[in-house]
Chain A
Amino acid sequence: MLIDIGFILGTMFMYATPLLYTALGGAISENSGVVNIGLEGMMTIGAFSAATTSYFLQNPWIGFIFGGFAGALLGLVHAVACVSYRADNVVSGIAINFLGPGIALFLARHFFGGTTHTKILDLDKKMPRPFDGVFEQNSFFDLILNQYATMFIALFLVFVVHFVFYYTRVGLRLRSVGEKPTAARTVGIRVVLYRYGAVIVSGFFAGLGGSSLSIAIVSHFWHPLISGQGFIALAAMIFGKWKPIPTMFACLMFGFSQGIAVFLGRVIPATYTELVSMIPYALTLIVLVLFVRRSRAPSALGGQVDE
């Protein structure tokens, strides 16, 4: 029983990790007033870049950071469109979702001899697991805590982002820009600069989210690796009312229902696996119906500023 709970919680953390990075990225961008529906594409390019650099440089950490940079690059593209050229944020995001996978697969073919997936990393060249071997194998704590380093970094980043949002000058200014850009401008805050920064950092985080999949949870990148997780992260962020800590809980809740799904998948007949796979999505929907009242988005979300 305890072992089962450990398994479910462990699975929760594992599934939640990429979502955490990406949803935090979403929160950063949207608190500055720019809708980021392109998280999916940024995750994809991040996952690819991380897997590729890790493979060639044989170092997961460089790969991890590289994944972030690749995402940030797409973030920059999104920022140019949305901030400088008044693009409809959603449309630009959709474009990013084409460009991300398109470029990733194109480069994959280029680097890996015509295939659309990267080569599998050696086990010891993947993200390390800091608590590996600390606990007895498959014991309760081992199941929960023996996670990739990326998981712990993600949880840490939640609090970093929370701190930055609510306790620092940059955070206050960032939120003011997303709330009422004209007013922020009158007190001398450089709206454009903040929005650029936020969207680029948002891409960086989404890139890390992709990396945490391709070089930790699995050990290579292939086409449907991301399939929709960027959107789920977006949903988690909205569910989390655009705030880092509630967003974390939303991601964990989604991970938890994945955990239950995986657990049930082991114990019930194969006929029902599809039904079980549905759990995370259906449960999220039910939780939304039961607990979420109209939440308040940043006021200027998706709007434009005249400079």
Chain B
Amino acid sequence: MKKRNLTRTITLVSAILLGFTAGGIFLFFSGYSPLRALEKLFLGIFGRPRYVIWVMVRAVPLVLTGLSVAVAYKAGLFNIGAEGQFIIGALVAALVGYHVRLPMVLHIPFVFLCSMIGGAVFGGIAGILKARYGIQEVISTILLNWIALYSNNFLLKFPGIKRPDSEASFQVRETAQIDLFARFKTSDSWIPFQMENPAIADALKASLSMGVFVAILAAIIVHYLLKRTTLGYQIRAVGFNENASRYQGIPVNWIKSGSLAISGALAGLGGSLHVLGVTKEVSRLAIMEGFGFDGISVALIGASNPLGILLSSFFFSGIRYGAVSVQRDLGTPTEIINITIGTIVFFVAIPYLFERIMLAIKKRKEQKNAN
């Protein structure tokens, strides 16, 4: 157990270093100073309190899609559909957030619930197709992603959903918005507060929302779900050995469909948090936004472990956010980020390489000692 964790840690740390090195090499060859870029990146993330908050806010959807991918993965399924489930969750949130009138204490949970149901249905479809018809979830979720995207665009053409003179939906009502301190920031006491507490005020300038806390809570719940609950035990059993699980009377098909539904619910919640906390609306999508696809990488880097996913989403969101200021200040091309992330994921895929290197180092040490 311990040895495996050590290898994993070494792999992850080396992968991140190698990722940055790859990014640095590309920067160097296009005439930028990698070190300055790294410094800017760091400052772009940690330079001001509000940057950190922003990174956290942007990490929220990734935590949820990452958890989504991880839950399915534990059941032995590969959910490429977090993207589509996210889109559906966001769409439902925008609709319920605008068309339903409820007091805030009810409205927000109600939106969450509806989004989760939307995502769960969408994930569940893939689950049923897999369990009932044996259609690989990899294919069905790819196709469902596109169906989600076009459904979103289709619905956004109808009056009553589409905000006049825009490509977007109506904004969700205030009772469904989850920003924190929004009212405080427009109140009279804001300006004196800013003077007295510049650091906190700066942090508050980022639109911190409840989403951050919901995401952390979701990670904790998923952790307990997998580790402590009956369902988690069943999911892991099915993921490790479907046949044996069936032999022992675990309802394999239900567990598979169920885990894809849970997976969908998580991604749907992600869409909901994104809409209620950041965008307040959904708009026409020309291409996939990539929250779901990034979720795959987040889950991989986080080793499908909820705590790992929290960290890796922060990391992911951090370099994406920080890169914006690197680009702004130095004019570096944004693709470097994809190259960096790609390299990191690539090396995360090959712990065996690092195992071998560790083994070689150990051997050499032993030889030295022997001499």
A contact set with B: CB distance below 8 Å: 37, 77, 81, 85-88, 90-92, 94-99, 101-106, 109-110, 116, 224, 227-228, 231-232, 234-235, 238-239, 271-272, 274-275, 277-278, 281-282, 284-285, 288-289, 292-294
Q: Mark B328-360, 1 if CB is under 8 A from A, else 0.
A: 000001011111011111101110110000000
**21 A-B residue pairings within 8 Å (CB atoms):** A37-B138, A81-B349, A86-B352, A91-B348, A94-B296, A95-B343, A95-B344, A98-B345, A101-B338, A102-B339, A105-B338, A106-B30, A109-B30, A227-B287, A235-B142, A238-B136, A281-B146, A282-B143, A285-B147, A289-B133, A292-B133
Residues in B whose Cβ lies below 8 Å from that of A288: 129, 133, 135, 139-140
Q: Which residue of A lies closest to B146 (CB)?
A: A281
Nearest-neighbor residue (CB-CB) of A277 within chain B: B150
Top 10 closest pairs, chain A to chain B, by CB = A98-B342, A102-B338, A95-B346, A99-B342, A91-B349, A274-B154, A294-B134, A102-B339, A95-B345, A87-B349
B153 at the interface (CB under 8 A from A): yes
**What residue in chain B is nearest A90 (Cβ atoms)?**
B78
* B173 in the interface (beta carbon within 8 A): no
CB-CB under 8 A from B346, the residues of chain A are 77, 81, 87, 92, 95-96, 99
Asked if A105 and B335 sit within 8 Å, CB to CB, the answer is: yes
In the bound complex, do residue A275 and residue B150 qualify as a contact, i.e. CB atoms below 8 Å apart?
yes
Contact with A along B121-153 (1 / 0, CB 8 A): 000000001000111101110111111001101
B341:A98 contact, CB within 8 angstroms? yes
Residues of B within 8 A of A91 (CB): 300, 345, 348-349
Q: Which residue from B30, B80, B296, B349 sits with its C-beta under 8 Å from A92? A: B349
Q: How far is the CA of A101 from the CA of B287 in the complex (A)?
A: 15
A231 to B81 Cα, complex, angstroms:
12
Interface residues of B (CB under 8 A from A): 26, 30, 78, 80, 129, 133-136, 138-140, 142-147, 150-151, 153-154, 157, 286-288, 293, 296-297, 300, 333, 335-339, 341-346, 348-350, 352-353
Smallest CB–CB gap between A107 and chain B, Å?
9
The distance in angstroms between the C-alpha atoms of A91 and B73, with both chains bound, is 12
Query: Which residues of chain B have C-beta atoms less than 8 A from A282's C-beta?
Result: 143, 147
Question: Given the interface contacts A81-B346, A278-B150, A278-B154, does A106 sit within 8 Å of B139 by beta carbon?
Answer: no
**A99 CA / B335 CA spacing, docked (Å):** 9
Closest Cβ of chain B: how far from A135's Cβ, in Å? 34
Residues on A with C-beta less than 8 A from B143 are 235, 281-282, 284-285
CA distance A81 to B353 in the complex (A): 9
Q: A224-B286, A281-B146, A281-B147 are in contact. Are A95 and B157 (CB under 8 A)?
A: no
With A81-B349, A94-B297, A102-B341 known, 5 other A-B pairs at CB within 8 A are A85-B353, A87-B349, A94-B345, A96-B346, A231-B142
Nearest chain B residue, comparing its CB with the CB of A104: B335
Most chain B Cβ neighbours within 10 Å, of A104, A235, A294: A235
Q: How far is the CA of A106 from the CA of B337 in the complex (A)?
A: 10
Q: Which residues of B contact A105 (CB under 8 A)?
A: 333, 335, 338
Residues of A within 8 A of B134 (CB): 292-294
Complex CA gap A99/B345 in Å reads 10
- Residues in B with CB closer than 8 Å to A95 are 342-346, 348-349
Cβ of A158 to closest chain B Cβ, rounded Å: 20
Take A81-B349, A81-B350, A228-B146 as given contacts and tell me if A106 and B129 are in contact as well, using a CB distance cutoff of 8 Å: no
Contact B335 A231, beta carbon cutoff 8 Å: no
Most buried by A among B30, B135, B288, B336: B135
Residues of A near B345 (CB, < 8 A) are 91, 94-95, 98
Q: Which residues of B lie under 8 Å from residue A37 when comparing CB positions?
A: 138
Give the nearest-CB partner of A230 in chain B: B142
Within the assembled complex, what's the spacing in Å between the Cα atoms of A278 and B152?
Answer: 11
Q: Which residues from chain B contact A281 at a C-beta distance below 8 Å?
A: 143-144, 146-147, 150
Q: Report Cα–Cα, A122/B134, bound state, in Å.
A: 47
* Interchain CA distance A273-B16 in the complex, whole Å: 44
Set of chain B residues within 8 Å of A271, measured between Cβ atoms: 157
Which of A224, A231, A289, A292 sits near B287, CB closer than 8 Å? A224
Contact B333 A106 (CB under 8 A): yes
Assess the B350–A234 pair: CB atoms within 8 A.
no
- State the Cβ distance, B206 to closest chain A Cβ, in Å: 27
Given known contacts A95-B346, A98-B341, A99-B339, is B352 in contact with A238 (CB within 8 Å)?
no
Interface centre among B336, B341, B342 (most CB of A within 10 A): B342
Q: Is the CB of B339 within 8 A of A98?
A: yes
Decide if B142 touches A232 in the complex (CB within 8 Å): yes
A98–B134 Cα distance when bound, in Å, is 30
With A81-B349, A227-B288 in contact, do A238 and B342 touch (Cβ < 8 Å)?
no
Q: Given A99-B342, A103-B339, A285-B144, do A238 and B139 touch, yes or no (CB 8 Å)?
A: yes
Q: Which residues of A contact B341 (CB under 8 A)?
A: 98, 102
Of A37, A86, A227, A272, chain B has the most CB atoms within 10 Å of the CB of A86
Known: A81-B346, A278-B147, A292-B135. A285 touches B78 (CB 8 A): no
Known: A103-B339, A281-B143. A289 touches B129 (CB 8 A): yes
